[in-house]
Amino acid sequence: MSKLRSRLVPYLLILPGGFWLAVFFAAPLIFLISMSIQTGNVTSGFTVTWHFAEYWLGLKGYSQQFLHSLYYGGAATALCILLSYPTAYWIAFKGGTRKTTYLFLILLPFFVSFVLRTISWQYILADNGLVLGPLKSAGLLPENFRILATTGAVIGGLTYNYLPFMVLPIYVALERIDFRVVEAAHDLYANKFEAFRRVVLPLSLPGVFAGVLLNFVPAASDYVNAQVLGGPNNTMIGNIIQDQYLYNTDYPMGAALSFTLMAFLLIGIFAYARALGTENVLEAAAA
Partner 1 sequence: MTENTPQGASSAHESAVADLAMRRGLLQGRPGRVNAGLSRRDALRFGGLAAAGLGLAACGVSGAGKHVALSKVAQEAEKFWAKQKKHGHVNFANWPLYIDTNHQTLKLFTQATGITVNYQEVIQDDPSWFAKVDPEIRAGQYIGYDIMVITDGFQWSDFVALGEYTPLNQKMMTNFYKYAAPKFKNRSFDPGNTYGMPWASGSTGIAWNPKYIKDPITSINSLWDPKYAGHVGMMSDIQEIGNFGLYKIGVEPEKSGPSDWRKAAAVLKQQKSDGIVRQYYDQSYINALAKGDTWITMAWSGDIFQQNLSSGTNLQFVVPEEGGTIWTDNMTIPKYAQNPVDAMMLMDWFYRPEIAAMLTEAIEYITAVPSVQGIIAADAAKATGSDKATLQEVATSPLVWLSAADYARLHNYVDVNGAAQQTYSSIFEPVVAG
Q: Where on the chain is the footprint of partner 1 (CB under 8 A)?
A: 7-8, 10-11, 14-15, 18, 22-23, 26-28, 30-35, 37-38, 40-48, 61-62, 64-65, 68, 123, 126-129, 144, 146, 148-149, 231-235, 239-240, 243, 245-251, 254-255
Q: Is 162 helix (H, G, I), strand (E, B) or coil?
A: helix
- What is the nearest approach in angstroms of partner 1 to the Cβ of residue 234? 7
Question: Based on CB atoms, which residue is closest to partner 1, 242 or 278?
Answer: 242
Question: Based on CB atoms, which residue is closest to partner 1, 34 or 101?
Answer: 34
- What is the nearest approach in angstroms of partner 1 to the Cβ of residue 154? 12
Question: Based on CB atoms, which residue is closest to partner 1, 127 or 175?
Answer: 127
- What is the nearest approach in angstroms of partner 1 to the Cβ of residue 49? 10
Contact 66, 260 (CB under 8 A): yes
Distance CA 287, CA 159 (A): 22
Question: Based on CB atoms, which residue is closest to partner 1, 14 or 271?
Answer: 14
- How far CA 117 is from CA of 22, 81, 110, in Å, comes to 35, 21, 9
Which residue(s) pair with 39 in the sheet?
47
Burial environment of residue 139 by CB neighbours within 10 A (0 to 12, 13 to 18, 19 or more):
exposed
- What is the nearest approach in angstroms of partner 1 to the Cβ of residue 274? 22
Question: Based on CB atoms, which residue is closest to partner 1, 21 or 181?
Answer: 21
Q: Is 221 helix (H, G, I), strand (E, B) or coil?
A: coil
- What is the nearest approach in angstroms of partner 1 to the Cβ of residue 169? 28
Q: Helix 53-61 vs helix 63-94: angle between axes, to the nearest 10 degrees?
A: 70
Q: Helix 251-276 vs helix 63-94: angle between axes, to the nearest 10 degrees?
A: 50
- What is the nearest approach in angstroms of partner 1 to the Cβ of residue 237? 10
Tell me the helices (H) and strands (E) count for the chain, helix number first. 15, 2
Question: Based on CB atoms, which residue is closest to partner 1, 12 or 275?
Answer: 12
Q: Where are the beta strands (DSSP E) in 42-149?
A: 45-48
- What is the nearest approach in angstroms of partner 1 to the Cβ of residue 22? 6
- What is the nearest approach in angstroms of partner 1 to the Cβ of residue 129? 7
Distance CA 32, CA 150 (A): 33
Q: Report which DSSP code applies to 96.
A: G
Question: Based on CB atoms, which residue is closest to partner 1, 30 or 201?
Answer: 30
- Between β-strands 38-41 and 45-48, what pairing exists: parallel, antiparallel or unpaired? antiparallel
Question: Based on CB atoms, which residue is closest to partner 1, 156 or 211?
Answer: 156
